[in-house]
Structure 1
Amino acid sequence: MTTYEFLRLLTFPIMPVHLQTVRKDIKRLVARSKHPNHLSLLDVGGRKSPYTIGVPARVTVLDVPQEAGTKKELNLGFTATLLETLKKKRSNIDNLVIQDMTKSELKDASYDAVVCVEVIEHVEADDKFVENIAKVIRKGGWAYFTTPNGDFIKNDGPGKNPDHVRHYTKVELQRLLEKYFDDVDVHYAVRTGRYRVLGLKSYSLRNPVKSIHSIYSNLVNSIQSRGVEYDSQGTAHLIAIGYK
């Protein structure tokens, strides 16, 4: 375990609720697998992903190359610097792939599972994206997705995310995944509101009061977010699991 991983593991309980939720879900899914310690997991769009840190799996991180324009402005995609940094920080990464999943060259049935956290809303060709993800998963495997909750959070107006192509409703995401997976579970997650927003603010040793406020907000939001799986309004994310 690297120093970076150790510190991240220590701080996970006070991190934003979305991060905590995703990590718990992934750990649960991995633990339920037949051979969790040998599970091969593809993290799509995970060039800075903390979600699979410490997970007992062989992780391949895949992301698109960083290009000029919106991707560069928002620090999206792989760069040579990010690749080198990631190799040093993470101990459970088997491989790093610079590739567009909509044009995947990966072999069919080459992974036991795929994790795709807050990525699909960025993808124009979402149908091909999901189809290619399903293709690389072995029979009995699963894919885990999260994305903004389009039943409540609309991507328009002055607050529009320039890199988001769409925000799915629960029904839209369910229908898309059901085209390529045998069984699909889609539900809502993370209560929105003041405490969620405050909890997203970064921590700083130079501003301990602000950091304590953020930590407290995340603890409150964690309690608020219990039992919201069926709440289409007032929730920030959709979580979807597709099983093959």
Structure 2
Amino acid sequence: MTLYEFMRWATFPLMPTHLNVVRKDLIRLVKAKAGSGNGLHILDVGGRKSPYTINLNAQVTILDIPQESETQEQLHLGFTSEMPTFIETKRSNIQGMIIEDMTQCTLASASYDAVVSVEVIEHVVEDDMFVKNISDVLKNGGWAYFTTPNGDFIKNEGPDKNPDHVRHYTKQELQTLLEKYFTKVDVHYAVKTGKYRVWGLQSFKKGNPLTLFKSVTGNIINKFQSQGVEHSSYGTAHLIAIAYK
């Protein structure tokens, strides 16, 4: 474990609820798939510097597109020239990095035991090809883990529209898409919306103890608020899908 990984691990309980839900799910899935996780190979699509696969007991390959547009830069999307060096020095479970668009995938079929795609599919125009290629690189018996905004409640329109989001899926829309390429699909809601979630999403800023206090307090409260919301379409921020091949 590197110092960076240790510091991220130590602060996970104080981080936003979505991060903790994803981490808990991935740890459970890795253990269920391969016991201790030794030898498990995961493709992290859109992973960049994301914390979701840090310290997972598996070998991780990160795949992402290059950062080419101003919108990508503003939203911190895609690989920059500095990221490979950062990842190599900060992460201990990274097996490789691939700069590629998953909709134009050149990876061999049945290459990975699992695929993780956190808050990515809403950015993809060719979502059918995206899901098809994810299914294709999975070995039989493997799983894919997706998260995306909850389109049953959060509409990507109006003054708060995210310019890089193509669509927000309803639960049924995501279920239908994934069932085209996977034999078993579970889609459910996650993370209670509201004031405390917004507090928790504020960046921790050195020298600003009030912001730090609000962020930590918001995340702790929101974690408790978000228990038992799996079937709540109203007032939840995310959809989580686990698809088995």
Instruction: With the length of structure 1 as denominator, give the TM-score of the two structures.
Output: 0.98
Query: What's 2:32 paired with?
Result: 32
Alpha-carbon distance in structure 2 between the residues aligned to 1:73 and 1:136: 31
Alignment partner, residue 105 of structure 2: 104
Match of 2:214 in 1: 213
* 1:129-162, Cα deviation, whole Å (9 max, x unpaired): 0000000000111000000000000000000000
TM-fit CA distance, 1:6: 0.3
SS in 2 for 1:26: helix
Is residue 240 from structure 1 mapped to residue 216 from structure 2 by the alignment? no
> 66-75 vs 194-203, which deviates more?
66-75
* Deviations 1:12-54, CA, capped at 9 Å, x for gaps: 0010000000000000000101352110000000001100100
* Match in the other structure for 2:12: 12
**Secondary structure in 2 aligned to 1:198?**
helix
SS at match of 1:37: coil
Aligned AA for 1:17? Answer: T
Task: Pick closer, same or farther for the CA change 1:212–1:69 going to 2, 3 Å.
Answer: closer
**AA at the equivalent of 1:10:** A
Deviations 1:101-125 (A, max 9, x none): 0000000000000000000000000
Amino acid at match of 2:231: Y
Aligned partner of 1:144 in structure 2 is: 145
Moved over 3 A (4+): none
Which residue number corresponds to residue 85 of structure 2? 84
Cα deviation, residue 231, structure 1: 0.1
**Aligned length, in residue pairs:** 244
Secondary structure in 2 aligned to 1:38?
A: coil
Structure 2: any 5+ residue segments left out of the alignment? none
SS in 2 for 1:216: helix
Letter in 2 for 1:39: L
- Correspondence 1:51-70 to 2 at 5 A: 51-70=52-71
Whole-angstrom distance in 1 between the partners of 2:77 and 2:210: 30
Distance 1:153 1:75 in 2: 21
Give the 3 Å change call, closer, same or farther, for CA 72–203 of structure 1 in structure 2: closer
- Say which is worse superposed, 133-142 or 67-76, in terms of deviation: 67-76
Q: Write out per-residue CA displacement over residues 146-201 of structure 1, whole angstroms, 9 at most, x where no aligned residue.
A: 00000000000000000000000000000000000000000000000000000001
Counterpart residue identity of residue 20, structure 2: Q
- Which letter maps to 1:19? L
> Using the alignment, how far apart are the partners of 2:117 and 2:104 within structure 1?
16
CA-to-aligned-CA distance 1:49-73 (integer Å, 9 cap, x gap): 1001000000000000111332233
Cα distance in 2 for residues equivalent to 1:34 and 1:215: 34
> How far apart are the structure 2 equivalents of 1:170 and 1:26?
20
Residue in 2 aligned with 1:180? 181
Q: CA RMSD in A?
A: 0.8
Shift of the alpha carbon at 1:80? 1.5
Letter in 1 for 2:120: V
Deviation at 1:204, TM superposition (A): 2.3
How far apart, CA to CA, are the structure 2 residues paired with 1:197 and 1:75? Answer: 19
The aligned amino acid for 2:21 is T
> Which AA in structure 2 matches 1:30?
V
- Secondary structure at the aligned position of 2:213 is classed as helix
CA distance in 1 between counterparts of 2:34 and 2:218 reads 37
Provide the rounded CA distance (Å) in 2 between the counterparts of 1:72 and 1:190: 27
Matches within 5 A, 1:110-121: 110-121=111-122
Deviates more, 1:204-213 or 1:124-133: 204-213
Q: CA deviation at 1:79?
A: 1.5
Q: Which residue of 2 aligns with 1:134?
A: 135
In the alignment, the residues of structure 2 paired with residue 4 and residue 88 of structure 1 have an alpha-carbon distance, to the nearest angstrom, of 9
